[in-house]
């Protein structure tokens, strides 16, 4: 058959797959029409996307369709979900084979969870086993969480190849060919908007009828959320104060030099000896010590928080940080007053607890400390947790932020008066003990 005829057959197969998916998943209409199909000259053994086009070859799709129409339906939705979850735009700086595997696993877990006849395949025990292994360590099967697991597991090349064979459905090579950074940002923003529309449509559909799809709803919600700049966020906990440091911005050198020129060694104005800066004095860091957190994760979080505060010159020489460990009750309360104590704590941090999570004891303990005058300038509390537990019902008069290492399930909601931040744990990987050592060698900002 001529190549032109095969390309036409491939286009008809894609149209048929879109129609089948549209019938059973009408809330995905925006997603199903988001990619333009184009014959892929460089894609010979699979289908692929660069976030703008869906590249295909007619011969591959014809062979796939002859084996099963379900396979073509899954392949089309597999690619579209990659784009909606913005996988093609997040591969920079990652171990590409592991990242590709993580993305494929996350997408296939969604397809396996959808109650649709046009997507239903016979269960593969090996796939279900890997899902179970992942769910034992994370609440939602996102590509980022699976990627971190694969990095920790240090599996052999053979084991990785076996998993790739289970989950791979498309070619990811166009993901690394996005040379136009501006166009890439525009495409990423477009897919973020599509994820928001899908999340809204699915929420409405699931409200009307319990037809499954919770996994897709969670993933769409995660893809649509705004990414928080953790560095900028921490500056909110700094209070203005006057420090002993020359303020060059408030000093006009014209009058200074005029006085020297006119009256000899007598300037008309002296440089101010103090300046106002925003510095952190009192801060509470609460750590959830239920079974959902590990020492390494906590240590990485503390290291990242300290590194950001230190490099932004937000600390005074002496500060007052209370690190509180709590599960269903307060297990420990450590006072940190300088950088060396904070580093020592991070080096030997051990978690006490392991029971269920109740956030209320920490807030009660903080109120008692404030009554005692131990936290006179408290502006905020950071609570590092997985987000699942009993929240206080009353708003605090200081800012409260729940820092989550990953997105919690739909059933758990942070109170509307608190701030919720999902911390990119890739950032914590960059905060190493060596970094802390280098920072401690520098002189801390003067009071």
* pLDDT at site 370: 92
State which H helix or E strand residue 419 sits in.
strand 419-422
180 alpha-carbon distance from chain centroid: 24
* pLDDT at site 302: 79
Per-residue pLDDT, averaged over 312-328, amounts to 74
* pLDDT at site 178: 58
The domain limits of the chain are 3-226, 232-247+278-441
Q: Which of 105-109, 118-122, 224-228, 356-360 has the lowest mean pLDDT?
A: 224-228
Q: Pick the residue with more confidence: 392 or 348?
A: 392
Query: 252-279 b/e with 16+ CB inside 10 Å = b?
Result: eeeeeeebeeeeeeebeeeeeeeeebeb
Q: Kindly report the pTM of this predicted structure.
A: 0.67
Model confidence at 407, pLDDT cuts 50, 70, 90, reads: low
Q: Contact, 419 vs 399, CB < 8 A?
A: yes
Q: Which residues pair with 330 in a beta bridge?
A: 326
Q: Pick the residue with more confidence: 266 or 337?
A: 337
- Predicted confidence (pLDDT) per residue in 279-307, tens digit: 667 889 999 888 666 667 777 787 777 77
Res 152 pLDDT > 70: yes
**Portion of the chain with pLDDT greater than 90, in percent:** 23
Res 413 pLDDT > 80: no
Strand segments, DSSP code E, in 255-297 are 275-288
- Predicted confidence (pLDDT) per residue in 183-226, tens digit: 678 888 898 888 888 888 877 666 555 455 667 777 776 666 65
Res 385 pLDDT > 80: yes
Model confidence at 416, pLDDT cuts 50, 70, 90, reads: confident
* pLDDT at site 283: 86
**Portion of the chain with pLDDT greater than 70, in percent:** 70
Half-sphere exposure of 106 (CA within 13 A, CB side): 34
Res 167 pLDDT > 60: yes
Please tell me whether residue 362 adopts helix, strand or coil conformation: helix
- Predicted confidence (pLDDT) per residue in 25-69, tens digit: 888 889 999 998 887 665 556 789 988 889 988 888 888 999 889
3-state SS of the chain: helix, strand, coil percent to 5?
A: 50, 15, 35
* pLDDT at site 129: 93
Q: Pick the residue with more confidence: 403 or 2?
A: 403
* pLDDT at site 292: 62
Res 381 pLDDT > 80: yes
Q: Which residues pair with 47 in a beta bridge?
A: none
Res 155 pLDDT > 80: yes
Name every residue whose Cβ is closer than 8 Å to that of residue 337 and which is 6 or more positions away in sequence.
Answer: 318, 319, 320, 321
Q: CA angle 403-407-408, nearest 5°? A: 95
**CA distance to 96, 115, 230, per residue, from 302 (Å):** 28, 42, 13
* pLDDT at site 445: 39
Directed axis angle between helix 181-208 and helix 69-84, to 10°?
110
Residue 317: name the closest of 169, 443, 208 by CA. Answer: 443
- Predicted confidence (pLDDT) per residue in 232-251, tens digit: 677 666 655 555 555 566 55
CATH code given to domain 232-247+278-441: 3.40.50.410
Model confidence at 439, pLDDT cuts 50, 70, 90, reads: very low
Res 268 pLDDT > 60: no
Per-chain mean pLDDT for the chain? 78
* pLDDT at site 441: 46
* pLDDT at site 310: 63
């Amino acid at each position: 058959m001529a190549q032109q005829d095969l390309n036409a057959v491939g286009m008809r197969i894609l149209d048929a797959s879109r129609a089948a998916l549209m019938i059973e998943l009408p809330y995905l209409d925006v997603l199903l029409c988001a990619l333009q199909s184009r014959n892929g000259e460089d894609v010979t053994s699979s289908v692929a996307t660069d976030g703008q086009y869906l590249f295909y070859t007619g011969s591959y799709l014809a062979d796939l369709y002859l084996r099963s129409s379900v396979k073509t339906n899954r392949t089309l939705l597999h690619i579209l979900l990659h784009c909606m979850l913005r996988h093609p735009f997040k591969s920079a700086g990652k171990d590409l084979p592991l990242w590709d595997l993580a993305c494929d696993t996350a997408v296939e877990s969604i397809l396996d969870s959808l109650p649709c006849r046009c997507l239903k395949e016979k269960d593969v025990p090996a796939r279900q086993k890997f899902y179970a292994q992942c769910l034992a360590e994370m609440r939602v099967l996102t590509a980022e969480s699976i990627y971190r697991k694969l990095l920790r597991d240090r599996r052999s090349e053979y084991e990785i190849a076996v998993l790739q064979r289970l989950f791979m459905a498309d070619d990811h090579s166009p993901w690394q060919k996005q040379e136009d950074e501006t166009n890439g940002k525009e495409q990423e923003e477009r897919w973020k908007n599509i994820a928001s529309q899908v999340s809204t449509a699915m929420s409405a559909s699931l409200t009307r009828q319990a037809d499954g799809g919770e996994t897709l709803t969670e993933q769409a919600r995660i893809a649509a959320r705004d990414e928080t700049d953790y560095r900028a966020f921490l500056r909110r906990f700094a209070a203005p104060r006057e420090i002993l440091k020359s303020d060059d911005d408030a000093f006009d050198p014209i009058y200074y030099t005029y006085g020297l020129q006119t009256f000899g060694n007598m300037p008309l104005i002296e440089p101010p000896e103090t300046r106002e800066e925003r510095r952190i004095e009192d801060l509470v860091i609460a750590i959830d010590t239920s079974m959902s957190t590990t020492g390494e994760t906590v240590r990485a979080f503390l290291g990242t928080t300290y590194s950001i505060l230190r490099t932004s010159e937000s600390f005074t020489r002496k500060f007052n940080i209370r690190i509180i460990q709590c599960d269903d009750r307060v297990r420990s309360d450590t006072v940190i007053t300088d950088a060396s104590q904070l580093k020592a704590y991070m080096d030997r941090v051990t978690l006490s607890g392991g029971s269920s999570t109740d956030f209320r004891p920490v807030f009660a303990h903080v109120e008692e400390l404030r009554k005692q005058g131990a936290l006179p300038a408290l502006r905020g509390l950071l609570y590092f947790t997985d987000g699942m537990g009993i929240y206080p019902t009353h708003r605090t008069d200081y800012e409260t932020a729940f820092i989550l290492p990953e997105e919690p399930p739909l059933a758990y909601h942070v109170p509307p008066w608190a701030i919720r931040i999902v911390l990119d744990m890739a950032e914590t990987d960059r905060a190493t003990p060596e970094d802390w050592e280098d920072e401690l060698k520098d002189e801390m900002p003067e009071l």
